[in-house]
Amino acid sequence: MFDSFKKTEVYKSVFRHSYQDTQRNRALQVVDNVFLHLHPVRIARHAADVSYTWGMGGISFLLFLILTITGIILMFYYRPTAQYAYEDMKYLMNDVAFGPLIRNMHRWAAHAMVLTVMLHMFRVFLTGSYKPPRQFNWVVGVILLLFTLLLSFSGYLLPWDQLSIWAVTVGTNMARATPLLGHEGPFGPQLGMRPDNDVRFVLLGGTEVGPPTLLRFYVGHCIFLPVIATIFMIVHFWRIRKDGGISGPDMNKKAA
């Protein structure tokens, strides 16, 4: 029955080629699949070796996908206002089916992603993979690191509990001390910076962490930061291929 199904137009239109184990089909399997064709058809043996790449870049991306999916689900249950945010969290944790699972996974995956991104950077450094021609992709990576941290930090505020507002208060208090642009920073007061017009005020939408901050961080967390991070990830992945795939020793230079 399955064999005759395989002959139908529907099947052929979806899978495009037969699945006999030939070199050609193995190649087509990658090229014909929109998700897989991010890959080259063939790569160096050591590039598929987990002990070389540690898989941390790939896992960071997987965690980003998990975060996107769980994050969208959370958005159905969460209103970014000081009045409702905390109540919505309580409701989610106590009354929504699978609510805790989704929220926990979003939080732990966020922590895990910060971790894997740092380890990924460590690996890329230790294999010297930022050296030509991959200099620029390292720079893109550093930007991704920054956005990963900012995403995690902005999300930290959203539960609107004691832990979140105080952590964000501690973090954003630094902005007061920004040289030139903060009201307690070097030369800030001389330039006319006050608590109600410096960078921290712009960041928080007020002189302290309050309802406008919640809204600002929410929009940043759900739209602005992920969109930009996604754009940089696209560049990152595209550059990996353009730079010749995963780094490896250049045998022309290094004579055996």
**Binding positions for ligand HEM, 106-145, rule CB under 6 A:** 117, 120-121, 124, 127, 129-130, 134, 137-138, 141-142, 144-145
Query: Measuring CA to CA, which residue among 121, 123, 153 is closest to residue 140?
Result: 121
By beta-carbon proximity to ligand HEM, the closer residue of 177 and 235 is 235
If binding means CB under 6 A, how many residues of this protein chain bind ligand HEM? 28
By beta-carbon proximity to ligand HEM, the closer residue of 137 and 164 is 137
In the region spanning residues 27 to 46, those forming contacts with other proteins, defined by CB under 8 A, are 27, 29-30, 36, 39-46
For position 191 contacting other proteins by CB under 8 A, the verdict is no
In the region spanning residues 128 to 187, those forming contacts with other proteins, defined by CB under 8 A, are 128-132, 134-136, 138-139, 142, 145-146, 149, 152-153, 156, 159-167, 169-171, 173-179, 182, 184-187
Question: Is residue 136 packed enough to be buried (19+ CB in 10 Å), middle (13-18) or exposed (0-12)?
Answer: middle
For position 190 contacting other proteins by CB under 8 A, the verdict is yes
By beta-carbon proximity to ligand HEM, the closer residue of 144 and 168 is 144
d(CA 107, CA 90): 15
Helix (H, G, I), strand (E, B) or coil at 121: helix
Taking the complex as a whole, the smallest distance from the CB of residue 4 to other proteins amounts, in Å, to: 26
Taking the complex as a whole, the smallest distance from the CB of residue 220 to ligand HEM amounts, in Å, to: 17
Among all chains, which residue has been given the structure tokens 């790449």? 53
d(CA 191, CA 25): 67
Give which of other proteins, ligand HEM, none residue 120 binds (C-beta under 5 to 8 Å, depending on kind): ligand HEM
Question: Is residue 137 packed enough to be buried (19+ CB in 10 Å), middle (13-18) or exposed (0-12)?
Answer: buried
Q: Residue 227 corresponds to which amino acid?
A: V
Cis check: omega of the bond before 133, within 30 degrees of 0: yes
Among all chains, which residue has been given the structure tokens 């780094």? 247
If binding means CB under 8 A, how many residues of this protein chain bind other proteins? 105
